[in-house]
Amino acid sequence: MKEELYLLEELRLGNQVAFTMLFRKYYRDLVIFGGNFLHDKDLCEDIVQNLFLKLWTHREKLEIDSSFKSFLLRSVQNSCLDELRHRKVVQEHENYSGLMDPADHQDTEDYVLYSDLKSSLDEAMEKLPVVCREAFQLNRFEGMKYKEIADRLHVSERTIEVRIGRAIGLLRYYLKAFFITIIALLMNMK
């Protein structure tokens, strides 16, 4: 115990011989201990080497409340558990990615296109003259016939035809970018 305290004090002062002695004393046992968690010798060696690298890098600030061996074992255990958590996250991601239907990507693209179209349609509808918008909405969104709309608005059926025709023409103009996109999508479908 006194030797260990002496080596730790020398390590804090930057004594490379003390560092080497501590490394040789604990390295093998720590690798074996890590193997209880990971069953991967190379990875356990990496973890222990990284631990000693951190010890050397932060030697001047090194504060150990328990025995040095307990500190090393706890550090290796924590690193192994971190690795296991990381593996679990990677595995869950791979499982999720494997379960995803390639069509899901297309669904996302379709949703984005629909969302953009809906937003643009709402903007275009706001640009329509009020009488045209009203007739168009009653016909297309509420399913009313031209005659029913004409009776409701107290105008002729021909006026409703003209208003809806004008609304369609203006919407075509406002939404022309989407017509090109839709045609391109239809051409790519097999």
Return residue ranges of the chain for CATH 1.10.10.10. 103-188
* C-alpha triplet 94, 98, 104: angle, nearest 5°: 120
For domain 103-188, say whether CATH 1.10.10.10 is its number.
yes
CB under 8 Å, gap of 24 or more: what pairs does 185-190 form? 185/113
CATH number assigned to the domain with residue range 2-99, chosen from the 4 options 1.10.357.10, 1.20.1600.10, 1.10.1740.10, 3.30.70.100: 1.10.1740.10
Q: What are phi and psi of 115, to 5 degrees?
A: -60, -45
Q: How far apart, in whole angstroms, are the C-alpha atoms of residue 23 and residue 17?
A: 10
Digit-by-digit pLDDT tens for the chain (190 residues) are 688 888 888 999 999 999 999 999 999 999 999 999 998 999 999 999 999 999 999 999 888 877 889 999 999 999 999 999 988 888 887 777 666 555 555 566 666 667 777 788 888 889 999 999 999 999 988 899 999 999 999 999 999 999 999 988 888 888 887 766 666 655 554 4
Q: What is the pTM of this model?
A: 0.51
Q: Where in the chain is the domain with CATH 1.10.1740.10?
A: 2-99
Helix (H, G, I), strand (E, B) or coil at 138: helix
Which secondary-structure segment (H or E) carries 26? helix 16-38
